[in-house]
Chain A
Amino acid sequence: MAASSDTVTPSSLRQAFGNVFSLFILILIGVLAFSIRLFSVIKYESVIHEFDPYFNYRVTQFLTKNGIYDFWNWFDDRTWYPLGRVIGGTVYPGLTLTAGTLWWILNSLNIPLSVETVCVFIAPTFSAFAAWATYLLTKEVKGAGAGLTAAALLAMVPSYISRSVAGSYDNEAVAIFALIFTFYLYIKTLNTGSLFYATLNALSYFYMVCSWGGYTFIINLIPMHALLCIVTGRYSSRLYIAYTPLVILGTLLAALVPVVGFNAVMTSEHFASFLVFLILNVVGFIYYIKGMLTPKMFKVAVTLVVSAGLIVCCAVVAVLIALVASSPTKGWSGRSLSLLDPTYASKYIPIIASVSEHQPPTWPSYFMDINVLAFLVPAGIIACFLPLTDASSFVILYLVTSVYFSGVMVRLMLVLAPAACIMSGIALSSAFDVFTRSIKFASSGKEADAGDTGNGVTQNDVVKPDKNEEPPKEKSSRKKKKEKENVEKAPIATKKSERRLLMLPMEASVVAILLLMLLGAFYVVHCVWAAAEAYSAPSIVLTSHSHDGLHVFDDFREAYAWLSHNTDVDDKVASWWDYGYQTTAMANRTVIVDNNTWNNTHIATVGTAMSSPEKAAWEIFNSLDVKYVLVVFGGLVGYPSDDINKFLWMVRIGGGVFPHIKEPDYLRDGQYRIDNMATPTMLNCLMYKLSYYRFVETDGKGFDRVRRTEIGKKHFKLTHFEEVFTTHHWMVRIYKLKPPKNRMRVKTKKSKSKTTLTSSKRSATRKKNPWQ
């Protein structure tokens, strides 16, 4: 470096300028990534969004208050009553630990930020980091230009924005950064063959395991790539150094995370990595032997070993298959199985299928989430094949697998987004490369052409002394690669016209550059629109625009505040599981089920209660010690994701465990309706009654604005529940269970013998309830 800077001053000066310039651009990209995610704070306020983030926020509060050791041993008795939940052993602690550490550092620097503020701004901060990691990764694959383009694209890709706006304090916020950074370190190790980077790679993988269950994607993708390299004959000792320490260290580190534990060696998700580890060791040994022996002797060795080795291999494989097959789910967890077989979840696990982000995406959602990148990706793949290196084959593999996974689950679109950005970055950058060069050559003529090529060569050698990822013949400048590319396109061309062919006509390239810029502008406009309008709603505060201005619906916080002020600390609140995290975090009340959904039976019990008639529901709730029931109702203001619309899932999940709840009872001719055509079971179930109680008083007709129909049963009274609170827009309604009042009613009704009969009947029905 030093010698070259002495001799080739102008080019090294330009190099230095280039470095400073790209640093500057990177900082700007970081700022962009951070600030594009602040729309939610500006338009609403600095709050935590949605459901899961509230849980993470609550855990972070606990961590900052009680310290790390209490956090690991935390048994939470305010959720899943009466079971409770071991939080320390069942969460991915990466996000909370990151936020907790950040908060601690800021506070010890005398910057008194609240925990909530830190949590709100974690996601934008880490998306800036993710953009920088993308730059590094793409730089390893295709050079700095592509890296900068990819980083800029990633900074504002809508799919990622949807998960990382300010306030969306969820695992994905830090996990995507960890994912990209792990891939970068793997590629870096693959290119340099340095154990130092291999160690860093394992540590970064550890962070990923801490942060998100999606780490299984890494531990399957990297073995796939290693296998691909072996099969295509690209084995190198760098691959050995990149892969084997990662598996050993990574497995041990993953086993340190309590939520993973021994799963790191016991479940099938991880077996691929061990298998490839064995294969890689064998292949490495073979290559070593091959290097020592003469070709003829090697042939002899192969014939000798193959016959013996095949038998051993077969035995090992048979044992492995027997081990895997002996476990009931073949060692795969439900979520992973639903990835491999997209129909699995809807067949066996309604609770996984009921979550909207686990549904397969629609075509428009691709356009919405990655926009023009969808068109640029194929070009990027072609660019990656010219020439195919270990690194670019990895990126291609990453893209292909993530496209498949995103096709299975909407949520995994998030994994596709970085791959699409990298590919599009490569495509755009190589397109600009060709166009600008042809403009430059066309304007400056032939001498400059030759001079520039020479200059380019030296410059390139100075820039990338460590870029020995390819065999020596690839060491020529990028320009020459482009020429080769052109030779492939037009093999008839002679050497002189090769250079001519390199250039497109001046006008064509100018137009093409303008068009590409237009495309980029479209992308930017779309991203800003998506960030501002589509993905910034916190979903606990809703707004609507109408002719008479902006309406704000703050009913959720109103209801939770009411709960925390007007109920006893130890009261139990029952609601559908969607609202469990929010109730514990905002109202600080014990809930029956929450968004963790770890116990299907418990959720089914609540679903059964909601879909039973009032009395049976009262019994179930009373046996669970419930004091208050909370339902979300959107019929008055037209809020579509309310409990009536989720009701069929409650019936399905409840019916899955308690067979007396049957889905057809709630459907009229296969149609779900709540108007006067609805079935009597539907009109008498608890959910209907709690949602529409006194609803007719609002407008006299009982017109439901979500279902766009008048309700079926308008005037009815509640016997076992009483309404205690309904929010301003009727979005949350809270009911209290009436105390058992058998004596009074029995007196007015009939003789005493009847009482014993009913009570015995009650105990008979109670027996069905698992919590009795």
Chain B
Amino acid sequence: MAKSSATKDALALFQSLRSAYAATPTNLKIIDLYVVFAIFTALIQVVYMALVGSFPFNSFLSGVLSCIGTAVLAVCLRIQVNKENKEFKDLPPERAFADFVLCNLVLHLVIMNFLG
């Protein structure tokens, strides 16, 4: 009895999540896809590390941190360009994107340096 109500709740939750998400603008959806992709890549690397070993540790570290870093920065960008966030009303999306590019540039310069 309890179980069926739980599944019903879960279903309802899933439905409402889906409908809520469908309302998000396309550019945010693209960013979401990018984030998911980055996290997925990081996961692959972690699994590879678990199977093969972490010998060139700096390479592993830079690979994983590159993916996580990209994901995090994309999330930051998403927060800033999201129209629903009242805090960032003054911030034009162009400026947000420029900051994002700058931060990514620094991140990947460091990673190239660290890759060894």
A residues contacting B by CB (< 8 A) are: 193-196, 198-199, 202-203, 236-238, 240-241, 244-245, 248-249, 251-253, 255-256, 262, 265, 281, 284, 289, 291-294, 297, 300-301, 303-304, 466, 468
Contact = CB atoms under 8 A, between A and B. Distances in A.
B62 to A, nearest CB: 7
Given A240-B75, A240-B76, A249-B103, 19 more contacts: A193-B79, A195-B76, A195-B99, A195-B102, A196-B98, A196-B103, A237-B87, A241-B76, A241-B79, A241-B80, A245-B73, A248-B69, A248-B107, A252-B114, A256-B114, A262-B58, A284-B75, A293-B17, A297-B12
Contact of A255 (B10, B58, B79, B96): B58
Contact of A300 (B12, B21, B62, B103): B12
A202 B110 CA distance: 11
A194 B12 CA distance: 37
Given A245-B103, A256-B110, A292 B79 contact: no
Given A195-B73, A241-B76, A304-B10, A252 B103 contact: no
A178 B76 CA distance: 25
Interface residues of B, number: 41
B61 A255 contact: yes
Interface in B69-88: 69, 72-73, 75-77, 79-80, 84-85, 87-88
B16 interface: yes
B49 interface: no
B87 A252 contact: no
B72 A248 contact: yes
Contacts of B102: 195-196, 199
A362 B77 CA distance: 50
A262 B98 CA distance: 31
Contact of A248 (B12, B65, B84, B113): B65
B91 interface: yes
B100 interface: yes
A262 B72 CA distance: 22
A297 B16 CA distance: 8
B67 to A, nearest CB: 10
B6 interface: yes
Contacts of B110: 249, 252-253, 256
Nearest to B66: A252
B55 to A, nearest CB: 13
B61 A294 contact: no
B13 interface: yes
Could you tell me the dominant secondary structure of chain B's interface residues? Answer: helix
B72 A244 contact: yes
Nearest to A251: B65
5 contacts: A193-B79, A238-B87, A248-B68, A249-B110, A304-B6
Nearest to B110: A252
B5 to A, nearest CB: 10
Interface string B14-25: 001100110000
A487 B82 CA distance: 39
Given A240-B76, A248-B65, A255-B114, A203 B13 contact: no
Nearest to A252: B110
Contacts of A244: 72, 75-76
B49 to A, nearest CB: 13
A593 B79 CA distance: 55
Contacts of A303: 9
A196 B105 CA distance: 12
Contacts of B75: 240, 244, 284
Contacts of B13: 293, 297, 300-301, 304
Interface in B32-67: 57-58, 61-62, 65
Contacts of B61: 252, 255, 262, 265
B106 interface: yes
Contacts of B31: none
Given A241-B80, A304-B9, A468-B87, A262 B57 contact: yes
Contact of A292 (B10, B17, B91): B17
B31 to A, nearest CB: 13
Contacts of B106: 199, 202-203, 249
A237 B85 CA distance: 9
Nearest to A248: B69
Interface of A is mostly: helix
A256 B10 CA distance: 46
A199 B99 CA distance: 9
B78 to A, nearest CB: 9
A252 B106 CA distance: 11
B87 A236 contact: yes
Contacts of A203: 106
Most buried by B among A195, A196, A256, A265: A195
A289 B62 CA distance: 30
Contacts of A199: 99, 102-103, 106
A245 B106 CA distance: 11
B76 A245 contact: yes
A244 B68 CA distance: 10
Contacts of B107: 248-249, 252
Contacts of A281: 72
Nearest to B24: A292
A292 to B, nearest CB: 4
Given A195-B73, A251-B65, A304-B10, A240 B114 contact: no
B96 A294 contact: no
A448 to B, nearest CB: 34
Q: Which 5 A-B pairs have the closest CB atoms?
A: A195-B99, A292-B20, A248-B69, A237-B79, A196-B99
Contacts of B84: 291
A256 B65 CA distance: 13
Nearest to A247: B72
A293 B16 contact: yes
A294 B15 CA distance: 12
Nearest to A192: B91
Nearest to A242: B76
Nearest to A199: B103
B62 A252 contact: yes
A265 B61 CA distance: 9
Given A245-B69, A248-B68, A256-B110, A193 B80 contact: yes
Contacts of B73: 195, 245
B107 to A, nearest CB: 6
A301 B58 CA distance: 39
A601 B65 CA distance: 39
B79 to A, nearest CB: 4
Contacts of B113: 256
A196 B91 CA distance: 12
A466 B16 CA distance: 37
Contacts of A293: 13, 16-17, 20
A251 B76 CA distance: 18
A252 B115 CA distance: 10
A205 to B, nearest CB: 12
B9 to A, nearest CB: 5
A326 B14 CA distance: 42
A69 B72 CA distance: 34
Contacts of B65: 248, 251-252
B101 to A, nearest CB: 9
A570 to B, nearest CB: 37
A347 B65 CA distance: 39
Contacts of A284: 75
A251 B13 CA distance: 38
A538 to B, nearest CB: 39
Contact of B103 (A198, A238, A240): A198
